[in-house]
Amino acid sequence: MDLNKYAARSGRVLKEDGSWVNEAEGINADGSRLVQLTGSNAQVYDGSVAWANSSAAFYSNLLTLPLPSDLQPNALYAITISNKSLISDITIFVGNKETFNSVVTYSELTRFGVVKNTAKTILVQGLYIGEGSILQISNDTVLNSTQGFTAYVRVRKV
């Protein structure tokens, strides 16, 4: 491949519909926007969930995340989970609450795992759309009579 036969790429990109976008302004060639952090770093939730000694595998703790006072539907949120267990990984279901014909439903935004004795942060857009949001956190291993543990949860608007 001879690179001398190709033009250098600028920030201007011609889209399929004939319009021009400038990637340097945070717009991808497909028209989607680049994620840009606002720098707010505002904490909107801080809490924990615990599993008792001798908990069965896949025992779930449900956290209802209160709506933030400055709700912005297009905001990006960082969900950080610190799993303090030395025994069990945990699985986190992130969902938004919706009620259809008086039946509460939680639509899945994402699902992820956190390995034992580690922490993980994921970025989620779409949190708090609908009637509220939840985190359903479950342990992946049977715990014996001395293996109860706590996981810590923090949500920030980024």
Mean pLDDT of 45-74: 90
Q: What is the pLDDT of residue 38?
A: 55
Dist CA 26 CA 121 (whole Å):
24
Burial of 136 (0-12, 13-18, 19+ CB in 10 A): middle
Residue 9 has pLDDT above 80, yes or no: no
CA distances from 86 to 57, 81, 112, 148, 149 (A): 15, 15, 18, 10, 8
Q: By three-state DSSP, how is residue 5 classified?
A: helix
Q: What is the pLDDT of residue 75?
A: 86
Mean pLDDT of 116-143: 93
Q: Give tens-digit pLDDT for 85-100.
A: 999 999 999 999 999 9
Q: pLDDT band for position 153 (50/70/90)?
A: very high
Instruction: Walk me through the domains of the chain, giving residue ranges and CATH numbers.
Output: 10-37 (no CATH), 42-157 (2.60.120.1090)
Place of tokens 């009579």: 145
Dist CA 58 CA 28 (whole Å):
41
Q: pLDDT band for position 22 (50/70/90)?
A: low
Give pTM, 2 decimals.
Answer: 0.73
Closest by Cα among 105, 154, 97 to 127:
97
Q: What is the pLDDT of residue 29?
A: 60
